[in-house]
Amino acid sequence: MSTHEVVTREITFAEAIREALAEEMRRDSRVCILGEDVAEAGTPFKVLSGLVEEFGTGRVIDTPISEAGFTGLGVGAAMTGIRPVVDIMFGDFITLTMDQMVNQAAKIHYMSGGRWKVPMVMRTTLGAARRSAAQHSQSLHAWFSHVPGLKVVLPSTPYDAKGLLKEAIRHENPVVFFEDKMMYKMKGPVPAEDYTIPLGVADVKRAGEDITFVATSSMVQVALGAADLLAEIGISAEVVDPRTTWPLDEQTIVESVKKTSRAVVLDEGYERYGVTAELAALIAERAFYDLDGPVRRMGAMHVPIPFSPPLEDATIPTPQKLFELAREMCGRS
Amino acid sequence: MSTHEVVTREITFAEAIREALAEEMRRDSRVCILGEDVAEAGTPFKVLSGLVEEFGTGRVIDTPISEAGFTGLGVGAAMTGIRPVVDIMFGDFITLTMDQMVNQAAKIHYMSGGRWKVPMVMRTTLGAARRSAAQHSQSLHAWFSHVPGLKVVLPSTPYDAKGLLKEAIRHENPVVFFEDKMMYKMKGPVPAEDYTIPLGVADVKRAGEDITFVATSSMVQVALGAADLLAEIGISAEVVDPRTTWPLDEQTIVESVKKTSRAVVLDEGYERYGVTAELAALIAERAFYDLDGPVRRMGAMHVPIPFSPPLEDATIPTPQKLFELAREMCGRS
Amino acid sequence: MSTVSSRTETASHADVELWIRMYRQMTAIRLFEERVNELYTRALMPGLAHLYIGEEAVAVGVCEALRREDYITSTHRGHGHCLAKGASPDRMFAELLGKAAGYCKGKGGSMHIADPSTGNLGANAIVAGSVPIATGAAFSSKYLGNGRVAACFFGEGALGQGVVYEEMNLAQLWKLPVIYVCENNLYTEYTHVSETLAGDILARAKSVGMAAETVDGQNVRAVHEAAAKLVERARAGEGPSFLCCNTYRFHGHHVGDINREYYRSKREEQDWKKERDPLAVHAAWLVAQKHADAAQLEQIEAEVKAEIAKAVEFAINAPYPNQEEVDRDVYA
Amino acid sequence: MSTVSSRTETASHADVELWIRMYRQMTAIRLFEERVNELYTRALMPGLAHLYIGEEAVAVGVCEALRREDYITSTHRGHGHCLAKGASPDRMFAELLGKAAGYCKGKGGSMHIADPSTGNLGANAIVAGSVPIATGAAFSSKYLGNGRVAACFFGEGALGQGVVYEEMNLAQLWKLPVIYVCENNLYTEYTHVSETLAGDILARAKSVGMAAETVDGQNVRAVHEAAAKLVERARAGEGPSFLCCNTYRFHGHHVGDINREYYRSKREEQDWKKERDPLAVHAAWLVAQKHADAAQLEQIEAEVKAEIAKAVEFAINAPYPNQEEVDRDVYA
Ligand SMILES: Cc1ncc(C[n+]2csc(CCOP(=O)(O)OP(=O)(O)O)c2C)c(N)n1
Ligand SMILES: Cc1ncc(C[n+]2csc(CCOP(=O)(O)OP(=O)(O)O)c2C)c(N)n1
Ligand SMILES: [Mg+2]
Ligand SMILES: [Mg+2]
């Protein structure tokens, strides 16, 4: 659970995002939004509804379908005094922005010997289960996590979403912010007061003793669901949410596993060469002498996400699957 | 060492690539090459010199500087009866082709329920140390390894390069083939006879007892160099080269580590969320009960590759660094 | 704009057959899409779908100018292209419902229907994603000398994507037999074209030296005549071309886009539906020219309706794929 | 093509000063690049470099039309742009040698020199990579209302990259103060422009409605006059423009590209060097118009030579960065 005390209201994840943007745009006139159908439409997910009415089309800017074009424009704008928040509707479309983000945004500060900086945010989505098929369901955040110069945020609650997004907007580096499309309607407590959450600090979403689940974004709910089921059979699971894959709060993760001696890492991206690989390798290295058994991984099945509902459902980790795995790991199968 | 017997000549890595292409182009008139400065120039690395003279500009085709454009054209051509080999000069430029490779090439077979296929090869490069700075020195193969539907090849010798490239060209799926720029002049034995090497079969480049180095591409030489140094102090290192990161020959890797009980994984990409993470996670899971100590990782330092020689040199694993790490792991520090 | 030559007086039997067939094909698309909307509303279809209603003349006019072995590539709004190129509604509906009998075993869904047997290289959910693929198919045709032509459908929104310009340059440099068919329906999702495209659409194709023309996309004969000429040109080795079809989608961006007044007026929609419905335009012409009478057209509609109903029935009753299908077809 | 207006009769003192300064700047670039080549040949420079010799009039003509706080973006062939915008040769040479005193502490090298103090957003080793960045800088200028203009240099090879068309569309839609300066030197590495670009270069800009013109890139006054007009236009809020400068690189694609006959003839090179050397053209004009005499020009050359020699000396003797620098500046 978060350590903040002032919890006043329940709002949705989408509202948390919108509030973060509105507050930062009020605070700093250099903050603007660029993306497809972000203005009057407020995005297809309606996450930005109302912003153009408050800030006008000079700051909430509809673009052509030019992901590379407006992302790259955002890089140049960030270098020269603007703080753009670039909206990439589906995370699958980051494929079109890799040159801008990786060869430009991530490297400019370093290549210029620290003389230019790129304070921009890319907001995009991840996650399957919407029956959107292979080109609208990917979780490709592992790619950006692999690239020095970028920071990568994966909020799992409205509280985290708001605090992390405000921090990202104020940040001096390019930050990629991944939102699970399936989470937009999820509600949670969010203080009305201004707050930010630093990048690189994990959050223990549930304390436990017997096994650690390290889970990101959408998978935090899966982990919490499994923890509930496990509690019923007397197994106490700890759920650690890194919140950012880079910087990565290694210490919180490793300490949890040292305490519980068992770990499952979960992430909605593909397992292979993905986030679960890094987390598992980290734990296996740094908690080596405390582990009771191998670290286990759960991620998307290594297939393009199928359209057909029964097939799609089979590709994603579920609380039930995690429950069964954890029960077995704790010797209760 | 490779298991082939017929070793007749020493040729360079670049010659091996060229021979593979020439032989396959002679064998199959559908094979053609598309890329920047591939024809008369034979690429800036001169890897393709002579091919246009034999096959003409109808099959060795100079393109505009349109990486997305000609890669995507290659996808469509592969679907309709051609077997294109697309040449992306520097691996850093794959950023421009991600949509074509990931949203299209990798998924078309699956999305069409197996009805279309994409038998194309992308050849590109990896590796630092050429004083080419941050946009011409990356090793980004982890990205493609993360994506189901693609296969990823990383040859480390002229022998492997030729056999794997011929296999890739005959293959029915999209294959990405990464060549270390620094290896083009390296010589090695290559049979004159036609041969191919299946994708997904690791090669033990050196047998040993005390520690396993799992190393890819350029890092195989680093591992062999360290193994030589270790031999001098009585430590016997085994060097396993997976040759393809996908499919991955898990069994050969895991068996080696079970035998030696110690492992270092090496890859020239960034360590974080990269190939070393997958290899380390795999070993830590499947050889868990046989490991003497944690699996260790060596990859590029997590920084954009600097231009300045002393800085660049500090970012890359070396035989000396690996030697020292291995010595310590074997309790001899 | 090309105008339709008035061949009325001298209309051959084949012409009339073609015109009637085009009417039937447009009707099939219209009725297909209406059932898609209904399946969505009744919560029988997983996910969303983008209806082609209002734009039928484009797909039909172009595809009737192609041979079966010619290629097309399609978009997120792809049912019309797929039907026009010859796919059957039953397997299409099955695909839309994620059933094993679908063209892609249910793995692709609405946005990815593909069918090698009719030369359909696939719908594509990446805007402009199929433009390189069509160009590549044209490259193959030229390389193999098999005389095939590729028609590449995309919305005007795709002109925001740089890869389109890369492909047009390549196609023109190499004289590839591809026709770029731009369906300018005035909107990219919820944004008017005037906010997303500067300058002139045709000029973009002409700048690489490509033949380019605009046609009334609500007039199937106009589309067909223009397309036939460009296809012939491409087949004769004279290179690529660009055909801008001015059209309009009568419904929302997708089936769930119901309240549209914040981005376009009801009035605008009504005007298009009333004045420029491609089916009505063509029907009126057929009747006026006495190529068909009202009864004949109603008969066609009834036949198509029955076929579509059967197709929906088939799809609803078809089984889902087995779970083991999930990791098949990843690699060939 | 724009032609240079003949202001000779009425040349003001300021004009003459400008013309002389342009000569000095071109000379500085020429001599700088000659030393780069020499450093490479003597194996004192790590890696490769792309020389700007032959193209000096473009960078100088454009940059003399800009203010210090205006922005430029540059390319792999970027030393000329950097010098023309006001950078000092000593820190540039230091960067080229990977020394700590370099503009980027040696971390960038030849292909990444950047300098905020002169508005240089950076050279870029991705062809067309800086086009979005310049457009973004122009976006900022407009957003902040600070009156700055961005000049975006790129080779004609960059026109192969789709992102250029995305940016031109955005810039024109939003009337951004950016000037796209295309350096058409006829080759992309080892391939002639006729093999890589179909159609007409200017038409590509004009297709989005952008003002576009071509100028003789070997005539520094012609470049300057055209650029000054476009910069003024941009500063006045009239939007972006495109300036195609016809030019030629006298040396290889990079310092190691010695045998070039397989892609262009010695004859072609000699003709350009003899007839169209931008320094010679401008010197001849200055002398013919009596704005300078030979002695004055020699004097300039001598001064510049001495400055460059000192700069090289400085760079050679400068220390490399400390090893601890390697992981600094990854994050701000
Ligand atoms: C690369 C990419 N960006 C954004 C989207 C989201 N999207 C789907 S359809 C669409 C609008 C397409 O407009 P247009 O090309 O004109 O086709 P239309 O829908 O009008 O037929 C957008 C933005 C997408 N699918 N792909
Ligand atoms: C995206 C990308 N593709 C390829 C290259 C390799 N490359 C470097 S310079 C160059 C040619 C550039 O030609 P042009 O833009 O005309 O500039 P010029 O060298 O003639 O000044 C190429 C292909 C690159 N640096 N970036
Ligand atoms: Mg549209
Ligand atoms: Mg050039």
> Is the CB of D330 less than 8 angstroms away from the CB of A110?
yes
Closest chain A C-alpha to C120 CA, distance in angstroms: 18
- Token readout for A297 is 């991984």
- Token readout for D185 is 């030197």
Ligand 1: which of A65, A86, A135 to mutate, judged by most atoms within 8 Å of the beta carbon?
A65
Phi, psi for A152 (deg, rounded to 5): -130, 120
Q: Which residues of C touch B78 (CB under 8 A)?
A: 136
- How many angstroms separate the CA atoms of C318 and C91, rounded? 10
Atom of ligand 2 nearest to the CA of B135: 25
- How many angstroms separate the CA atoms of B67 and B36, rounded? 9
Q: Give the model confidence (pLDDT) of B209-257 as tens digits.
A: 999 999 999 999 999 999 999 999 999 999 999 999 999 999 999 999 9
User: Amino acid letter at C186?
Assistant: L
Burial class (CB in 10 A: 0-12, 13-18, 19+), C288: exposed
Strand, helix or coil for residue A332:
coil
A64 within 8 A of C157, measured Cβ to Cβ: yes
Alpha helices in A80-206 (DSSP H): 98, 106-111, 141-145, 158-170
Structural element, H or E, at residue A241: strand A237-241
In the predicted structure, residue C66 carries a pLDDT above the cut 50: yes
Q: What is the DSSP secondary structure assignment for residue D111, as one 8-state letter?
A: G
Q: Give the model confidence (pLDDT) of B247-278 as tens digits.
A: 999 999 999 999 999 999 999 999 999 999 99
Domains and CATH numbers, chain B: 10-191 (3.40.50.970), 203-329 (3.40.50.920)
> Is the CB of C162 less than 8 angstroms away from the CB of A68?
yes
User: Amino acid letter at C89?
Assistant: P
Cα D97 to the center of its chain, rounded Å: 20
Q: Which of A195-204, A215-224, B1-10, B111-120 has the lowest mean pLDDT?
A: B1-10
| C-alpha distances in Å from residue A257, one per residue of B66, C114, D306 | 48, 48, 66
Burial class (CB in 10 A: 0-12, 13-18, 19+), D53: buried
CB of A82 within 8 Å of a chain C CB? The answer is no
Q: Give the model confidence (pLDDT) of C176-215 as tens digits.
A: 999 999 999 999 999 999 999 999 999 999 999 999 999 9
Q: What is the pLDDT of residue B8?
A: 72
In the predicted structure, residue C226 carries a pLDDT above the cut 90: yes
Q: How confident is the model at residue C1 (pLDDT cuts 50, 70, 90)?
A: very low
Closest chain A C-alpha to B112 CA, distance in angstroms: 10
Average pLDDT, chain C: 96
Atom of ligand 2 nearest to the CA of D253: 19
- Given the structure tokens 């990859």, which residue do they identify? B299
D:64-93 residues touching chain B, CB 8 A cutoff: none
Question: C93-96 long-range CB contacts below 8 Å, 24 or more apart?
Answer: C93/C32, C93/C35, C93/C39, C93/C311, C93/C312, C93/C314, C93/C315, C93/C316, C94/C314, C94/C315, C94/C318, C96/C36, C96/C39, C96/C45, C96/C49, C96/C315
- Token readout for D282 is 């401008």
C315 within 8 A of C90, measured Cβ to Cβ: yes
The CATH classification of domain D13-316, taken from the options 1.10.10.10, 3.40.50.970, 1.10.540.10, 3.40.50.2300: 3.40.50.970
In the predicted structure, residue C4 carries a pLDDT above the cut 80: no
What positions of B carry a catalytic annotation? 136
Burial class (CB in 10 A: 0-12, 13-18, 19+), B3: exposed
Output the CA angle A71-A73-A75, nearest 5 degrees. 75
Question: What per-residue string of b and e applies to B10-43 under the rule 16 or more CB within 10 Å gives b?
Answer: ebbbbbbbbbbbbbbbeeeebbbbbbbbbbbbbb
In the predicted structure, residue B161 carries a pLDDT above the cut 90: yes
Average pLDDT, chain A: 96
Over range B146-169, report the average pLDDT.
98
- Please tell me whether the interface predicted TM-score (ipTM) of this complex is above 0.95: yes
Q: Give the model confidence (pLDDT) of A255-282 as tens digits.
A: 999 999 999 999 999 999 999 999 999 9
Burial class (CB in 10 A: 0-12, 13-18, 19+), C68: exposed
In the predicted structure, residue C163 carries a pLDDT above the cut 80: yes
CB of B116 within 8 Å of a chain D CB? The answer is no
Q: Whose CA is nearest to atom 18 of ligand 2?
A: D155
* Ligand with the closest atom to the CA of C123: 1
CB of D199 within 8 Å of a chain C CB? The answer is yes
End-to-end Cα separation, chain A, in angstroms: 29
Question: What per-residue string of b and e applies to C249-269 under the rule 16 or more CB within 10 Å gives b?
Answer: bbbbbbbebeebeebeeeeeb
In the predicted structure, residue A224 carries a pLDDT above the cut 60: yes
In the predicted structure, residue C7 carries a pLDDT above the cut 60: no
CB of A92 within 8 Å of a chain C CB? The answer is yes
Nearest to A72 among D105, D133, D140 (CB): D133
Q: What percent of chain D has pLDDT over 90?
A: 97
* Rounded mean pLDDT for each run of 10 residues along chain D, 332 residues in total: 53 95 98 98 97 98 98 98 98 98 98 98 98 98 98 98 98 98 98 97 98 98 98 98 98 97 97 98 98 97 98 98 98 98
Q: What is the pLDDT of residue D2?
A: 46
- How many angstroms separate the CA atoms of A273 and B1, rounded? 27
- How many angstroms separate the CA atoms of D219 and D4, rounded? 9
Q: Residue by residue, what is the 3-state secondary structure of chain C?
A: CCCCCCCCCCCCHHHHHHHHHHHHHHHHHHHHHHHHHHHHHCCCCCCCCCCCCCCHHHHHHHHCCCCCCCEEECCCCCHHHHHHCCCCHHHHHHHHCCCCCCCCCCCCCHHHCCEHHHCECCCCCCCCCHHHHHHHHHHHHHHHCCCCCEEEEEEHHHHHCHHHHHHHHHHHHCCCCEEEEEEECCEECCEEHHHHCCCCHHHHHHCCCCEEEEEECCCHHHHHHHHHHHHHHHHCCCCCEEEEEECCCCCCCCCCCCCCCCCCCHHHHHHHHHHCCHHHHHHHHHHHCCCCCHHHHHHHHHHHHHHHHHHHHHHHHCCCCCHHHHHCCCCC
Q: What is the pTM of this model?
A: 0.97
C178 within 8 A of C141, measured Cβ to Cβ: no
Q: What is the DSSP secondary structure assignment for residue D156, as one 8-state letter?
A: G
Closest chain D C-alpha to C270 CA, distance in angstroms: 29
Which residue of the set A109, A136, A141, A171 is catalytic? A136
Nearest to B143 among A135, A143, A276 (CB): A143
Pick from B311, B313, B316 the residue to mutate for testing the D interface (most D CBs within 10 Å). B311
Give yes or no for a cis peptide into B198 (omega within 30° of 0): no
Atom of ligand 1 nearest to the CA of C188: 13
Residue D20 pairs in a beta bridge with: none
Q: How far is the CA of B259 from the centre of ligand 4 (A)?
A: 56
Q: How confident is the model at residue C11 (pLDDT cuts 50, 70, 90)?
A: confident
In the predicted structure, residue B3 carries a pLDDT above the cut 80: no
- Token readout for B114 is 């197996």
Q: How confident is the model at residue B4 (pLDDT cuts 50, 70, 90)?
A: low
Q: What is the pLDDT of residue B332?
A: 85
Structural element, H or E, at residue A15: helix A13-27
Over range B184-203, report the average pLDDT.
97
If you measure CA to CA, which chain A residue comes closest to B284?
A284
Q: What is the pLDDT of residue C2?
A: 46
- Token readout for A199 is 């990048």
DSSP codes, D23-73: HHHHHHHHHHHHHHHHHHHTT-SSS-----TT-HHHHHHHHTTS-TTSEEE
How long a stretch of residues is chain C?
Answer: 332
- How many angstroms separate the CA atoms of A257 and D39, rounded? 56
Q: What is the pLDDT of residue D34?
A: 98
- How many angstroms separate the CA atoms of A291 and C119, rounded? 56
Q: What is the pLDDT of residue C274?
A: 98
Over range C121-134, report the average pLDDT.
98
C146 within 8 A of C191, measured Cβ to Cβ: no
CB of C140 within 8 Å of a chain A CB? The answer is no
Q: Please confirm, yes or no, whether A136 is among the known catalytic residues.
A: yes
- Given the structure tokens 């230019």, which residue do they identify? A116
Rg (CA), chain C: 19
- How many angstroms separate the CA atoms of C141 and C150, rounded? 9
Nearest to D162 among C165, C197, C198 (CB): C165
Closest chain A C-alpha to B179 CA, distance in angstroms: 20
Q: What is the pLDDT of residue C293?
A: 96
Residue spans of the domains in chain D: they are 13-316
